[in-house]
Amino acid sequence: MHSDNEIETEPEAEANSAAETDFDFSQLLVEDDCFAIRQAARFASQLYDRHLARTGLKITQFSVMWRLAMKPGMTIKELADWMVMERTTLVRAIQPLQRDGLIVSDASPRDRRALVFSLTPAGLGKVHSARSSWHRAQREFEERFGEERATFLRRELLALTKK
């Protein structure tokens, strides 16, 4: 047997269920900025990783090394902030590079408790030799997307993360 309260709420529950099924989920995907950005980021990462495969580097590793080539002696916090990455994710990307003798860490001269990271001579050579693969990936992306649109997209995305 149903109580009066249960009987009264059943039509309401059915109405809510009907309203939920009438929702156009495809419209949500069209309007979901986060989904679109993440999907595009995965696509771009796969494209760059494919070109960098012969170098033995992933695009994240190449990016870390390129940033260290531009500014050696960065702490993990500085590098993570610059790359807008979680420190633990960055550490996982750096560990194989350290193991392979491409990156070294030393105590910071400003704070002996902090580590600063730099490229080894082998790391510097690796990142410079990988630049041609990176350029091929960049060209493919710009050919597919359009050079002008790619430039505009890059500026807008960098502006989004600028502090």
pLDDT digits (tens, 9 = 90+) for 43-72: 999 999 999 999 999 999 999 999 999 999
Q: Any idea which architecture 25-161 has in CATH?
A: Orthogonal Bundle (1.10)
Q: How far apart are the C-alpha atoms of 154 and 145, rounded to whole Å?
A: 12
Q: How far apart are the C-alpha atoms of 59 and 133, rounded to whole Å?
A: 10
Q: How far apart are the C-alpha atoms of 93 and 95, rounded to whole Å?
A: 6
83 and 64 Cβ atoms separated by less than 8 Å: yes
Each residue's pLDDT tens digit, 11-30: 555 555 545 566 666 666 66
Mean pLDDT, rounded, for 146-155: 95
Q: How far apart are the C-alpha atoms of 61 and 49, rounded to whole Å?
A: 10
The CA-atom distances, in angstroms, between 32 and each of 19, 22, 36, 38, 152 are: 21, 19, 6, 10, 20
Each residue's pLDDT tens digit, 94-126: 999 999 999 999 988 888 888 899 999 999 999
Provide the whole-model pTM.
0.77
In the chain, what are the domain boundaries? 25-161
Three-state secondary structure call for residue 47: helix
Element (H, E) at 118: strand 115-119
pLDDT at 20: 56
- 145 or 1, which is more confident? 145
117 and 68 Cβ atoms separated by less than 8 Å: yes
